[in-house]
Structure 1
């Protein structure tokens, strides 16, 4: 058995988690996931200021506290904190170790950086970062080469678990089921406390004041148990694990560089308090192409929020819009208004009597967005609706980023492991691949026998979790019981989803049934526009989309309530 813990789900996660995981109980490997689509843009801007940057600096601070502890306990560390500069982070770790008088062997993985090939993507001058999503084998080679710490750039999040597992159990590229099991376990771990009750739909059922971080006990056949250190907060249940399995996935084929894991084969079993067994995972050959994340600056954005208080909210909003339309000359390339009716009638406080009218603008020219918001909006201060004020004074505008995905042949990417002694090992692309096509939908379960219904929120009988994939949103919904699944599978169609979430009415919506998880998983194409960095939506990463859905009312069978 290999015991792997996680201490970071994003750049900015709980700093103390590294020490907590190292001192809370036995571990063989400690991982940390620091990279997301937005993080790569942040790191790219760091690198523009200083070519020696481009990595997650907080990891180095965590290691400064915990390096001796990890070495003393024999815990290997595998992180993607290298970001855009894994080689420099590896050097910085060596310098830190020398300063502390600790001997430690550091390996790193390179080859994901495709920025020198920007012309291939049709953006020769505009890209800030272009990174292929590498797999697990570079990590495995570093560990086999004696590394106690491995830092990578852009690898798939699950590779942080699959790499150590492959090295420990001696797996090869043909061990697809075992690799798929490790990928599924890695996906559960990658977002940290989201697997242990963080951001969980039924959070009131557990003490999630300070949830612990997850651990996976992996076995040679790829089966595993998800757990956490004893005495830590939160909970590990089949539902907390289901919620994370559905997060930011689409169809039942979950593709990666090393294996395509079939999510429709995942079997979850409660194996005791805070222990969930995962087994039955089937793996298929990976696709021949690697995903590449492209990050660029899209232009300039600015926004201002008008506070509308008391009576005539709609008329006040209309007046401001008319006044600004006349004043915006030249008009920004994109102008978006949203009115949030946060006001209440006969309110006891001014704040609860107020609504928020948000104006967001975008343009290639910073002066245009600065004039639209910083000048035109402010000039209305004594010449608009009664009670005029803003939530904050606007600034001159800020640059916004755009994330796009491209694909390149895996054979055209130089995935390389740099061992602790400086030797390099080229990682070959898979010999056997399989084009990624959607899996067939499984048959629907038997429908629930009709009976009396009550109009109540969906969230009384179903959980949900949602997130972003570039400009698309993912929304997974699961039923709490078998009868609930029989109702949910027949009721929550793509058509009904569009009715319940009117923002999605004009979008392509795909639905995937996952019977073993009692879940339906939706992909909402284009909901997030150009992605989180472009800030095109009130909830730009669709984090609360699932909670909005759970708050919508449906006619739900009373037998489920």
Structure 2
């Protein structure tokens, strides 16, 4: 392993990502460390329910199956493996890996990080299944410094998988804020796997061959970062793999699930407004200039609890009088709720129908009914029976997309905060000894960064044309608890001056009426020619509550790009 550059790859962006990615990354080219991100807010709830059924569970079982194929390859090539697949049971997963290595006849030193699980502390409220602090990378670094070949963690920040490995390799200390911040930014770019190499990319059509088909974009390769001692990095991928790495794909991932200029973590707060991207060649983007600050004094704690039960029925409305048909069936279903009304009843009419449609499907709209209640019996059989009983007694053409089911439990995510000094963060080293990770010597309370001066509008922009924003701007959106973020960026300076002046909070609310009554914050990132909006409360109580058609706000940015506004003709593509 070269001391001058550390090559860190990623083989998983979520629990359920491409199974073969670990083998692809280990065999596709040089690598020093291979990370895997398996945890999301929803995943922690899934693991919590696993643990309810069997106390021995609580980790990402996929990771163990991947290691059955790949642990020998990693050892042969000298690649360290670092992942958060331990979930709620990092010690149990570490022991499973030791047993696996013994069966395979491999000499593997396994370590794990623990201390994030705060459920036993209590005081989190009723129904809480998981309570986990987001730890930093220092526990990972301690394990690697002690000679670990495999490190598994519970809930750490996604970027900590990379920053911890880099800190161990280069000998960075807790006060090396700029270096740590550079690695945190690299870690954030890698954490979602192929989203950095062309996956889910707004301008995906530009990456596809003009003659048709999608070529190498069909199976984008996973990303890697070449990290240097000063904290700078180059984002790239293995030669010959699909997708593309360029300033656009990296910018899109930088904006994903972030908010303002300060990107806070347990070890360091990275200043996203200092990030500079430079294309150094095909599939090579340098990330430099990142400044770091002392971390905040608190750690985020992710809480998952069962919120109750929900049920859903989707009515199909075909042809004429769509709105009248919808009101008719809503009135009929209201009768079913008289005796035992659910705590929440939501109707949504989705107008997928077209006039004079050439197919029945395109002549049809969908009317979605969602009910919630703490009591499963309220949202179960009464609702299902009421919907089915209308089959011959409602609007003409009555049918459903699927038979109604019994009510199912849903989860609620909530973020809490606790002082860094209240969490006992331990690295359990390969020899079984326990190393307690200290708290940062300096902390800095988070404050919003004032909006920087905006560039002046260039001349020649008076002539406009009504057009979709997406002809000019890319976007990527995602979820953080009940809030959503929308990152929007452009690629030219003139377009940036126009975007910064035009896409204000009132304009965003106008373009996305679902956000009109919600708190919206705009963050300006001039180096990236980007705006990042946080919309509070759009997702209700988080993805597991399924409060919205798109519960993770994955398509929110694409909806914004599809909205029309007056765009200067000079800026539009010819």
TM over 0.5: yes
| Map of 2:33 onto structure 1 | 29
Aligned residues of 1:332 and 1:372 also touching (Cα < 8 A): no
| Map of 1:495 onto structure 2 | 506
**Structure-1 separation of matches of 2:549 and 2:441:** 44
| Map of 1:471 onto structure 2 | 482
| Map of 1:408 onto structure 2 | 418
**Structure-2 separation of matches of 1:204 and 1:229:** 22
1:546 and 2:557 matched: yes
Shift, 1:134, TM fit: 0.1
Partner of residue 556 from structure 1, selected from 550, 554, 567? 567
| Map of 2:122 onto structure 1 | 118
**Structure-2 separation of matches of 1:259 and 1:397:** 44
Shift, 1:371, TM fit: 3.5
| Map of 2:213 onto structure 1 | none
Shift, 1:440, TM fit: 1.2
What does the per-residue CA deviation read over 1:431-472, in whole Å, with 9 as the maximum and x for residues that have no partner? Answer: 100001111111111123332111010000000000000000
SS at match of 2:86: coil
1:165 and 2:166 matched: yes
**Structure-2 separation of matches of 1:104 and 1:163:** 20
Partner of residue 282 from structure 1, selected from 286, 291, 306? 291
SS at match of 2:8: strand
What does the per-residue CA deviation read over 1:137-178, in whole Å, with 9 as the maximum and x for residues that have no partner? Answer: 000000001100000000000000000100000000000000
Alignment of structure 1 residues 238-317 onto 2, 5 Å = 238-317=247-326
SS at match of 2:81: strand
Aligned residues of 2:68 and 2:100 also touching (Cα < 8 A): yes
| Map of 2:353 onto structure 1 | 343
What does the per-residue CA deviation read over 1:335-393, in whole Å, with 9 as the maximum and x for residues that have no partner? Answer: 00001100111111111111000000000000100134311111111110001000000
| Map of 2:227 onto structure 1 | 218
**Structure-2 separation of matches of 1:62 and 1:152:** 17
SS at match of 2:417: strand
The normalised TM-score by structure 1 is 0.99
| Map of 1:10 onto structure 2 | 14
What does the per-residue CA deviation read over 1:266-323, in whole Å, with 9 as the maximum and x for residues that have no partner? Answer: 0000010000000000000000000000000000000000000111100100001111
Aligned residues of 1:300 and 1:398 also touching (Cα < 8 A): yes
**Structure-1 separation of matches of 2:569 and 2:523:** 26
Partner of residue 377 from structure 2, selected from 345, 353, 367? 367
**Structure-2 separation of matches of 1:62 and 1:454:** 52
**Structure-2 separation of matches of 1:92 and 1:82:** 11
Query: Is there any run of 5+ residues in structure 2 with no aligned partner, and where?
Result: 209-216
Structure 1: 4+ residue segments shifted above 3 A: none
**Structure-1 separation of matches of 2:146 and 2:56:** 26
The normalised TM-score by structure 2 is 0.97
Aligned residues of 2:336 and 2:383 also touching (Cα < 8 A): no
What does the per-residue CA deviation read over 1:33-68, in whole Å, with 9 as the maximum and x for residues that have no partner? Answer: 000000000000001111111000000011001010
Query: Is there any run of 5+ residues in structure 1 with no aligned partner, and where?
Result: none
Shift, 1:110, TM fit: 0.2
**Structure-2 separation of matches of 1:188 and 1:333:** 41
| Map of 2:471 onto structure 1 | 460
| Map of 2:529 onto structure 1 | 518
**Structure-1 separation of matches of 2:143 and 2:531:** 39
| Map of 1:482 onto structure 2 | 493
* Aligned residue-pair number: 558
| Map of 2:212 onto structure 1 | none
What does the per-residue CA deviation read over 1:208-236, in whole Å, with 9 as the maximum and x for residues that have no partner? Answer: 21000000000001000000001011000
| Map of 1:183 onto structure 2 | 184
**Structure-1 separation of matches of 2:206 and 2:78:** 36
Aligned residues of 2:245 and 2:285 also touching (Cα < 8 A): yes
